[in-house]
Structure 1
Amino acid sequence: MAQINYRTINIDVLDPESSINFPMDTLLPGSLPEPTNSSAAASVAQQVRQLLRGGDPEGALRHVLDTAPLGGDAQAKEVHLATVIDVLQGIRQGEMLKVLEGVISGDGGTERADCLMKYIYKGMAVQSSASGSQSPSSRKTLSPQATGSGFSQVQARNFGEGGGGQHMSVLLSWHEKLVELTGHGTIVRVLTDRRTV
């Protein structure tokens, strides 16, 4: 009689109700947009910058959230994330609440609020992983900055990288205002949604 090692048998294949036999693509909604490439995301970024220069921050935020590449490749998603963060940083703190109310009111407002929350969380994750992955030798060195009054301030020189702390502060401010307007349901929907930005 042959010895069978029962520990090596994959019983999930034999179970018809197993998650292995369940098509995961049925969990995604049928309304996913067509796959987006990085050139399409770059053209959206250009349109959004024109809206910002024209003095329409609400229209810029609405447009960037409506054109999120949920079905795009990784490069398109990175370009779009940078565009969203540029828009969020381009809106003054005093205007945040008014702009958010305009963006999430009306038809499709809940979806835009959820999409904005996804970008806030992704921006926080990218920022924390970028700061945590630096080796001590590759971190920016601190150097004194003249203030003009005889005193000096010591700060990191990272002007071209968006100033890490400022970036996180902006995202946290937007998170606070968004939760204030929409409640905690947005957070739950973002954490359970399988569509990523």
Structure 2
Amino acid sequence: MAKDDSDIYAALLQAIERGEFQPGSRLIETELAERFKVSRTPVREVLNRMESQGIASRDGKGGLIVAELSQDQLGELYDIREVLEGFAARLAARHAAPAEIELLKEMIASGKLVEGEARELAIANKQFHQQLHNCTHNQYLQQMLSSVQRSLALLSGTTLAEPARVVVSEKEHRMLVEAIENRDEDKAEQVARNHVKNAYKTRLKIELGW
């Protein structure tokens, strides 16, 4: 049960990621307060925070809803994600400690990035990228990447629901870790940027129903 603002925020964001609140769904204080067994005050604080982050927006009646991304916004989101993930990979190749690289290799070897249901794959993938972001040793870049991740929560489903994407993604992860281990900054950035570009292509197919 959520007990404070941070708990409520995390729980609501996870619910949005799971699709329990679809883009355009109303976010009603009283209903959320009942859901999380808290007063309306912390819920209001969380909703204000989400609105400031672009996760929630106002509808025509002034109420809060889960934000909806237009096709243009989707492209903009992946554009900035490509740049940030590429730079993160470059910094990881420069700064990652041997133990951090070993952890990335262990995450790949575990099979969790290729085996399981789509949601399980998405969770494992998020953990892998979080570890990669930690390897940058740059807190400001990590904050920007966290902001992008929050916006990605607004997208329905996961690109890893597509079997072909899982296969390609796993290959890209291996190439990325190899480049980081070899301290090849240019290669690491190139692989990371291509990784995001390919994810975007799959995302477009999902959003457009191809």
Give the structure, 1 or 2, with the largest relative contact order (CA under 8 Å, sep 6 or more).
2
Structure richer in helix, relative to its length: 2
Tell me the TM-score normalized by structure 1.
0.26
Tell me the TM-score normalized by structure 2.
0.24
